[in-house]
Amino acid sequence: MTFIANFIIGFLAAFVGVIPPGLLNMSAAKISMKEGRKKGLLFSIGVCVTVMIQTYVALIFARFLDQHPEYVDFLQKVALGIFICITIYFLFIAKDTGRPIPQDMNRSKTNRFFAGMLLAVLNLLPLPYWVYISITFSGFGWFTFEQPGIWAAVLASGLGTFAMLIVYVQFFRRKEEKPRANLNMNYIIGFITAVISIITFVKILNDF
């Protein structure tokens, strides 16, 4: 039962986490439009491999925190400062992600599988995201850090990410002839981190 619960939480968390337009899903859509669906899927698979590795690392760290609650209070304060800085950066400093992808990237002959892996490495948000998700659901008794539950969540994170990337690939292939409004992903990330900052701040106050 815990295996199934971890799998469901892992899949849904990954699926929802990739919904906001960002570098990875927009790149997958762009590659599919310019180089074909096969290249887009290869890129997406590469992304998912890295995501699963990141998820595993995050869950191992989260398990350590779950077993050593004395560190949680300190890390909550550190996390609050980090999330506030990230919020300020993405809302006021970071460059607009709504700009089109450079054309030379579209013509690159780099193996799309490894390109997906490398590009996903640059996205470090899954690490704190999965630590937060796993510890939160563990507190409700819905998530376990025991094996094979961790592997279920890791596998589900890859499948959930791949499922949403497929949605982007298919949607943009159908809509490629229609104009689309540019969306600055930085505002979405900034909003998400702002919400997390508020939740963390309230929790710190309640524990004080």
Contact 94, 186 (CB under 8 A): yes
pLDDT digits (tens, 9 = 90+) for 54-97: 999 999 998 988 888 777 677 667 777 877 887 787 777 765 54
Q: What is the DSSP letter of 90?
A: I
Is residue 8 over pLDDT 50? yes
pLDDT one-digit tens code per residue, 122-166: 888 888 889 888 887 887 788 999 888 999 999 999 999 999 999
The larger pLDDT score, comparing residue 81 to residue 104, is at 81
Q: Nearest Cα to 32, choosing from 41, 45, 20, 21?
A: 41
Whether the predicted pLDDT of 101 surpasses 80: no
CA triplet 162, 167, 169: central angle to 5 degrees? 90
Q: Are 86 and 188 in contact (CB under 8 A)?
A: no
**Per-residue pLDDT at 10:** 94
Query: Is 126 within 8 Å of 51 (Cβ atoms)?
Result: yes
Q: How far is CA 138 from the centre of its chain?
A: 19
Please choose, from the candidates 45, 27, 23, the residue with its C-alpha nearest in 3D space to the C-alpha of residue 35.
27
* Residue 175: strand, helix, or coil: coil
C-alpha span between 85 and 89 (Å, rounded): 6
**DSSP letters spanning 105-140:** HHT--S-HHHHHHHHHHT--THHHHHHHHHHHHHHT
Residue 52 pLDDT > 50: yes
Q: Is 147 helix (H, G, I), strand (E, B) or coil?
A: coil
**Residue 124 vs residues 46, 82, 120: alpha-carbon distances, Å:** 15, 13, 8
What's the mean pLDDT when you consider all of the chain?
Answer: 80
pLDDT value of position 110? 53
pTM over 0.85: no
